[in-house]
Amino acid sequence: MTAEPGTVGAAISLEKVEESAPGLVSLYKSAGVSLRKQGLADQRAAVYLVLDRSGSMRRYYKDGSVQHLAEQALGLAAHLDDDGVVPVVFFSTDVDGTAEIDLGNHQGRIQELHESYGHMGRTNYHWAIEAVITHYKASGATDPAFVIFQTDGAPYSKPAAEKALCEAAELPIFWQFVGFGDPEAKGFDFLRRLDDLPVPERRVVDNAGFFHAGLEPRLVTDDELYKELMVEFPEWLVEARAAGIVR
C-alpha cells in the first residue's frame, strides 16, 4: 500500500487520525511538514503540554486560544508518540491539576479541566517543571520528551525557575516556551534570558527555546507555530546525544 502524504515516519498514521480525530487532520499534516523539513520525520518523543492558569490568562481560556494550542500539541504528538496521548500540567501558584488529552478525547477538554480547578493564582514555573519531570521518570519512557510550556509572563520566583530548568538539563527533556500576550511586556525579557542561560556555566546543554505567539495567538498559523516549535529542538537532540543525555 502506498503511504499517504504526511505519514512517512509518523508514529500514528493519517488513516487513524482521520478515523479518531478528523478535526485534527489539518494540524497533523502541518506538523508533518515541519518535522520533515527539520529531518525529524522518524523522531520519537513524548509530547507534554504545560498551561499557565495565572489570573491574567483568563481571556485566553475564554477565547479558545489555549484549547487550540492543545489541539496543535496533539497534531504534533501523533507524529512523535505512538500512544497519541499528551499529558497536561496546569499551573499557577502551584500545580493546579494534571490530566491527559488524546485523539479521541480533546474537544472542549481544556476549558472543562480549567473550570474544574477553580481559583487562578500567580505564576510559578518550577512546580510545573518538577511535575513534568516526575511524570516522565515514572512513565519509564526511553524516548526524549518535548514539552510545550505556555505562559503569559515571568514567574513570581525567577531564581526557582532558573534553578529547575538548569537542573533539568541533565535529563532527556526539551522545554519549548510559548508566550501569549503583549510582546513588549517586560515579563518576556525573563523568558528570553531563560532561553539564553549560558552553557556549560549554568547547564550542561541548551535545553530550552522560546517563541512569542503575540497578543492573539490564534492568528498564528499552524504552519508558523510548528516551524517555531522546531527551531531549537533539532539542535538540542544533537547536543544531548553528544553529551550522553539522549540515547
Tens digits of residue pLDDT in 218-237:
999 999 999 999 999 999 99
Q: Which pLDDT tens digit goes with each residue over 39-55? A: 999 999 999 999 999 99
| 31 contact partners, CB below 8 Å, separation of at least 6 | 72, 75, 76, 78, 79, 222, 226
Helix (H, G, I), strand (E, B) or coil at 190: helix
Average pLDDT, the chain: 94
Mean pLDDT within 184-200:
92
Percent of the chain residues topping a pLDDT of 90? 93
Q: How many CB atoms lie within 10 A of CB 71?
A: 22
pTM more than 0.85: yes
> Which triple of cell numbers denotes residue 36?
520533515
Q: Which pLDDT tens digit goes with each residue over 4-40? A: 444 448 999 999 999 999 999 999 999 999 999 999 9
Domain ranges of the chain: 14-183+195-242
Band (pLDDT 50/70/90 cuts) for residue 185 is confident
List b or e across 214-223, with b for residues whose CB sees 16 or more CB atoms inside 10 angstroms: eeebbebebe
> Which triple of cell numbers denotes residue 38?
527539520
pLDDT value, residue 237: 98
Longest CA–CA span in the chain (Å) reads 54
pLDDT value, residue 187: 83
Mean pLDDT within 76-82:
96
Band (pLDDT 50/70/90 cuts) for residue 184 is confident
For the cut 70, the answer to whether the pLDDT of residue 145 exceeds it is yes
pLDDT value, residue 163: 97
pLDDT value, residue 171: 98
Band (pLDDT 50/70/90 cuts) for residue 84 is confident
CATH superfamily of 14-183+195-242: von Willebrand factor, type A domain (3.40.50.410)
